[in-house]
Amino acid sequence: MSRPFLKMNGLGNDFVVVEARADTPYGPFEPGIEAARAIANRQTGIGCDQIIAIGPSDRSEAMVRFWNADGEEVGACGNGARCVAWLLMEATGKDEAHFETKAGLLSGKRAGDKIVTVDMGEPGLDWTDIPLAEEMDTRGIELQVGPIDAPVLHTPGCVSMGNPHVVFFVPDAETAPVRQVGPLIENHPLFPERTNVGFAQIKGPDRIRLRVWERGAGLTKACGTGACAALVAAHRRGLIGRKAVLELDGGELTIEWRESDNHVLMTGPVEVEFTGTLP
């Protein structure tokens, strides 16, 4: 029996979404590295940044799993979480959805027509949360690119949003060496689980321009957890307030690091592209 999928995106960050709950005729979904890569391949497969499976949970409405384009399973995906929340709300007719991920329990609320706010939980700020290979102050770690006496990039902040992020602050995100530096930092020995790499330009007291090299996916049009991490890292450095608009290649997200409970809220659009069946 061919398994149907839904192709969705959040700001161009695109997903193949698969139903894997027990009350469907299709059962569990465990693609494995090679099958995940084949699905994600933009030349020979369906093509996507991540694959998402919505499975059964005894703690909430669903257990949601994410695989990057390289086949590696990851704990969290911000834009994907918005898409899942929207699907669950459409299925129930409610304005709120709760679901489980490997990074913890998440919840989403309607914020407009195909606009969703997801509570991404508390950011991980200790060096063991990222994780780093050695103890460092995650406000600005000892890492630089280029000559010792004149580094091109240096002292990035680190944040875990259920997945590891390093954020460099740059004068101009458009000319930042994302493709050149991204793969080097992603695979740097300081990050035993590899890392996502953000290049953030502070454009005002409530606006950040951000480009992200995603772990296992490369340069994508948007990264939801990356946007959350950039806001948190910037606020910890005193560069911005607790709420800002993040300008990504695919559009804008509103991120708020709520003081009352330390949770990070992400608001942005979702889009349904097409449906099909997996080969």
Q: Which two tokens stand for residue 267?
A: 């608001």
User: Among 48, 83, 223, 228, which one carries the catalytic annotation?
Assistant: 223
Beta-bridged to residue 271, according to DSSP, are 9
Q: Please state the φ and ψ torsions of residue 180, each to the nearest 5 degrees.
A: -80, -45
Pairing type for strands 243-248 and 207-214 reads parallel
Tell me whether residue 228 is one of the annotated catalytic residues. no
Q: Which domains does the chain have, with CATH numbers?
A: 4-121+269-277 (3.10.310.10), 144-262 (3.10.310.10)
Q: Give the whole-angstrom CA distance, residue 170 versus residue 174.
A: 10
User: Among 48, 77, 158, 228, which one carries the catalytic annotation?
Assistant: 77
Mean pLDDT of the chain: 95
Blockwise average pLDDT, block size 10, the chain, 279 residues? 91 95 78 95 96 94 96 93 97 96 94 97 97 98 91 96 97 97 97 97 97 94 96 98 97 98 98 93
- Tens of pLDDT, residue by residue over 21-77, are 866 677 789 899 999 999 999 999 999 999 999 999 999 999 999 999 999 999 889
